[in-house]
Amino acid sequence: MNKFTASSILALLWPVCTALAQLAPPNKLNVTWSHVHVIVPDRDKEAKSWLTLGGQLGNNLTNDNVPVAFPGVVILLGQGDTKGGSAGSVLDHVAFRVPNLQESVARWKAANWGLKEQAGADRAGQAFFTTINQVRVEILEDRALKIPIVFDHVHFVIPEADLSKIEDYYVKLFGFEAVKGELYTYSLPGGKLVFSKAPRAAAPTAGRPLDHIGFDVAGSHDNLEAFSKRLEANAVEFRSPYRKSPMGNARPLDPFGVMTELTHGVAGYADFRRIDPAVLPCENRSAKCW
């Protein structure tokens, strides 16, 4: 049987985004899940892991990242060197739901590329995999789901003493809502954050492949700038303040040292009908964007 390289597959499939791979409408603060940023030494190989999982290649808007879109989130693959996997760091893993776990696992094993099953499942309807670059991925079965796969959550592992900081940051400032009946679980349109008490100090996220999480601020770049200034007024620490760019950019740090990047326009990666016109000239890198 002929084998295609990941680069060949990417070239054939770019861009093949379906209507299912979209971001969710924003909440009352105009915020929605946008992306999870993964840093890898070889974006083509890592992309095959996420394509095997069921993602769709997104629109190539800025040439800075390879986007793989799922319902609710875009996985952005950036270029860079990392050490170790995501497991054991503050951002331990990312999770998705599928309607039939057994069928999905069989399909991924048959594909024989980019996903390696791991131990760690402690209940029925749960499985763990790692990607080529050692990003830990949890899979949960949801028999009511009507589509092949959907983003569910990002899982933090933090000291017990820090659990009290969750609501002051993610609930009050971003509009996350506590999920009834699920301890330390908070929902934003598109997906959730889940927090577990660390049995020991977790490694910093910086330098690991699961680099940061991102939220999109709807409406306009002015909305994004105003939202960023609101965080500054609430004494949030920033790795870099708001700057005007094709998709906007502000990089606040949460209380656990994780970067929570703010953007405007990431929906265009997942659905060409939602590309912000301001981004279009920036597909040509010689164009003056801002």
Confidence of residue 62 (pLDDT cuts 50, 70, 90): confident
- 275 half-sphere exposure, CB direction, 13 A CA radius: 17
In the chain, alpha helices (H): 6-13, 43-53, 101-111, 165-166, 172-174, 221-233, 267-270
Question: Which string of b and e fits 80-111 if b means at least 16 CB within 10 Å?
Answer: eebeebbbebbbbbbbbbbbebeebbeebeee
- pLDDT on residue 6: 41
Please state which architecture CATH assigns to domain 25-283: Roll (3.10)
- The residue length of the chain stands at 290
Which residues on adjacent β-strands are paired with residue 39? Answer: 78
Assign 247 to helix, strand or coil: coil
- 286 half-sphere exposure, CB direction, 13 A CA radius: 0
> Residue ranges per domain, the chain?
25-283
- pLDDT on residue 280: 66
Strands (E), 71-203: 73-79, 91-98, 116-118, 126-130, 136-141, 150-158, 177-178, 185-188, 191-197
- pLDDT on residue 247: 87
For residue 67, the tally of other CB atoms under 10 A from its CB is 28
| 18, pLDDT greater than 50 | no
CA distance 244 to 104: 41
Confidence of residue 131 (pLDDT cuts 50, 70, 90): very high
CA distance 96 to 20: 14
